[in-house]
A and B are shown apart, each in its own frame.
Chain A
Amino acid sequence: DGGITQSPKYLFRKEGQNVTLSCEQNLNHDAMYWYRQDPGQGLRLIYYSQIVNDFQKGDIAEGYSVSREKKESFPLTVTSAQKNPTAFYLCASSVGDRGSQPQHFGDGTRLSIL
């Protein structure tokens, strides 16, 4: 079945450490997104990519980085510059323009600080 796979499901970060969250899709979608979800808040966009080798910052990109070397993959690195990284991270993809098509989501990675 086609879908989006996020790994790991749970991740722990030490102070000063960079960690990378994996997101892979086999839906042949051009666009991919990373969101952060905090308790009591909606999803906030970190980064999005509409095509391979291109990506744009969302509202809360500071302290995060991404790459899009392959259509299927859009990894997110949470750097040590992100001082409050504890959150639920969701990856999504869509066929094309992010507003006119439904987004398909992975099951998330929960990141905590050790």
Chain B
Amino acid sequence: SQQGEEDPQALSIQEGENATMNCSYKTSINNLQWYRQNSGRGLVHLILIRSNEREKHSGRLRVTLDTSKKSSSLLITASRAADTASYFCATDPLTGNQFYFGTGTSLTVIP
């Protein structure tokens, strides 16, 4: 499978702490995206990073991409209870027509 895998599967932190989740994938990609999903809802796009980029920021989010290791990380700084959700990476492989989502990290931020 070309599907990405997130690590850890679940993460629980205190409000104000930073949360880091990782995504590993198997084949070379054009870009990688991160999405958030609140329980029982659809996914919301957070950030897209292209294969020639190494780091990208958006508000409290910081994404890194290491194409040599085929991995990406999402850092959420100064977490809030409202950040509680599942987070998914999605990869656009160089070959093929599919767009693959990972298995997700479930983040719980305790007030």
Contact = CB atoms under 8 A, between A and B. Distances in A.
Binding between chains A and B: yes
Given A44-B101, A99-B93, A108-B40, 12 more contacts: A41-B103, A42-B4, A43-B88, A59-B98, A98-B92, A99-B30, A99-B31, A102-B45, A103-B33, A103-B35, A103-B90, A105-B43
19 contacts: A33-B99, A40-B103, A42-B100, A42-B104, A43-B43, A90-B42, A90-B43, A92-B43, A98-B99, A99-B30, A99-B31, A99-B92, A100-B30, A100-B92, A103-B35, A103-B90, A104-B45, A106-B42, A107-B42
A21 B97 CA distance: 24
Contacts of A107: 40-42
Contact of B101 (A43, A99, A110): A43
A102 B99 CA distance: 11
Contacts of B103: 40-42
